[in-house]
Amino acid sequence: MGTGLRVAVFGAYGHTGRFVVAGLRERGFEPVLSGRDAGRLKELAEDFPGSDVRPASVGDPAALDRALEGVAAVVNCAGPFATTAAPLIEAALRAGIPYVDVAAEIEANADTFAHFTDRARAAGVPVLPAMAFFGGLGDLLATAAMGDWTTADEVHVAYALSSWHPTAGTRAAGAVSRQRREGRRVRFADGRLEYRDDAPPAQKWEFPDPMGSRAVIGEFSMADVVTVPSHLPVRDVRTYMTVEAVKDLAAPDTPPPVAADEHGRSEQTFLVDVVVRSGGSERRAVASGRDIYAVTAPLVVEAVDRILTGRVKAAGDAGAAGAAGAAGVMSAGALFDAAGFLRALSPHITLELRP
């Protein structure tokens, strides 16, 4: 709190970027507003007086270097991340600063782990992809649910959304992902990502009360199929989405989210139910809250704060390099104390652990 450290936010004028900028200011950081559209950055700065504005494009490495000059970390909120992640990570490596993004694109996150793990570790730079509602939250919940288990057979992440009004960025990122996988769907089974042409299964999921039994689309894979198995020894990771939310997302005329309170949050609510199974045993973690886009901000800001203050897992913990120098590409559950991180998100997220 009250650090005064500067943190660059690329894509600051986007729907999620605005929440992140506001969240950083609330925690005492000084956001540096960046992105390719100078006009939109100028308009955003009117809402956040005194902000440093630094236009930059991912196709201009020199401009990115100027945007990151003198900042403590960079948060990438600009999708599609298939286009923006690699150039921003390269710039963060050149600057020697932590990189965090909110990518929900499965392929973009897989690329980050594949292409930058060794380079980021060698550079001594932490790279944290998918630090968002999709990817980061599910990974933290799965890690917290596992607790002292060293392995698990299955991780199930079930999403119940009261509605899903996608942003333009969500639609654009989804189009890129579908194109990259040639229209196929993807799942994580038997220890690997698997692409399939068949239809996903329709089934029921027993959510905790008061949600109860709901129709879901099974194997509706989100970024969790990359983040969770990146550090947890698990054979299968399955994600599920309530049918109503899938219909909202698929409909071309579903409008974007509309602000319904003074913080800009929509009326949409969510419940994420994570079940981890090992042998005949089962553990569960449940999170609930409001607005899947707005809730990404406290996830990101808490992550930035913990990285910059050295509050990461002790050396020797799975996937973490220790507070003295966390480096490499790591998911949220690998880098942080998952249960402690989730509890710190109150009141934005209500958490229940069921060992």
Q: How many domains does the chain have?
A: 2
Whether 220 is covered by a domain: the verdict is yes
Q: Are residues 59 and 86 in the same domain?
A: yes
Q: Are residues 126 and 175 in the same domain?
A: no
Q: How far is CA 297 from CA 168, 256, 302, 312, in A?
A: 18, 18, 8, 19
Q: Are residues 267 and 159 in the same domain?
A: yes
Which CATH number do you get for residue 219?
3.30.360.10
Q: Are residues 150 and 278 in the same domain?
A: yes
**Chain centre to alpha carbon of residue 108:** 12
d(CA 133, CA 136): 6
pLDDT 10s digit of each residue in the chain, 355 long? 447 999 999 999 999 999 999 999 999 999 999 999 999 999 999 999 999 999 999 999 999 999 999 999 999 999 999 999 999 999 999 999 999 999 999 999 999 999 999 999 999 999 999 999 999 999 999 999 999 999 999 999 999 999 999 999 999 999 999 999 999 999 999 999 999 999 999 999 999 988 899 999 999 999 999 999 999 999 999 999 999 999 999 999 999 999 999 999 999 999 999 999 999 999 999 999 999 999 999 999 999 999 999 999 854 443 333 334 589 999 999 999 999 999 999 999 999 998 7
pLDDT of residue 355: 75
pLDDT of residue 143: 98
Can you list the alpha helix ranges (DSSP code H) found in 147-228? 168-180, 224-227
pLDDT of residue 33: 98
Whether 327 is covered by a domain: the verdict is yes
Q: Does this model's pTM top 0.75?
A: yes
Q: Which residue is listed with tokens 């973490």? A: 320
pLDDT of residue 325: 56
Q: Are residues 69 and 121 in the same domain?
A: yes
**Residue where a domain stops, chosen among 270, 290, 310:** 290
pLDDT of residue 328: 96
Whether 240 is covered by a domain: the verdict is yes
Contacts of residue 169, defined as CB under 8 A and 6 or more positions apart, other chains included, come to 14, 15, 16, 78, 79, 80
Alpha-carbon torsion 316, 27, 294, 82, what sign?
negative
**Residue where a domain stops, chosen among 290, 312, 341:** 290
**Residue where a domain stops, chosen among 290, 310, 335:** 290
d(CA 25, CA 28): 5
Whether 1 is covered by a domain: the verdict is no
Beta strand residue intervals within the chain, DSSP E: 6-10, 30-35, 52-55, 73-76, 99-101, 126-128, 152-161, 185-189, 192-196, 202-206, 213-218, 234-242, 269-278, 281-290, 328-329, 349-354
User: How many other CB atoms are there within 10 angstroms of residue 36's CB atom?
Assistant: 18
Q: Are residues 192 and 230 in the same domain?
A: yes
Which CATH number do you get for residue 17?
3.40.50.720
**Chain centre to alpha carbon of residue 82:** 15
Q: Are residues 246 and 260 in the same domain?
A: yes
Whether 231 is covered by a domain: the verdict is yes
Q: Are residues 123 and 151 in the same domain?
A: no
Q: Are residues 154 and 274 in the same domain?
A: yes
Contacts of residue 91, defined as CB under 8 A and 6 or more positions apart, other chains included, come to 61, 64, 65, 67, 68, 74
Whether 354 is covered by a domain: the verdict is no
Start-to-end CA span in the chain (Å)? 32
The whole domain housing 59 covers 6-132+295-349
Provide DSSP, 4-29.
--EEEEETTTSHHHHHHHHHHHHTT-
Q: Are residues 226 and 309 in the same domain?
A: no
Q: Are residues 121 and 150 in the same domain?
A: no
Whether 336 is covered by a domain: the verdict is yes
Q: Are residues 143 and 285 in the same domain?
A: yes
Whether 355 is covered by a domain: the verdict is no
DSSP assignment, residue 195? E
Q: Which residue is listed with tokens 């199930």? A: 156
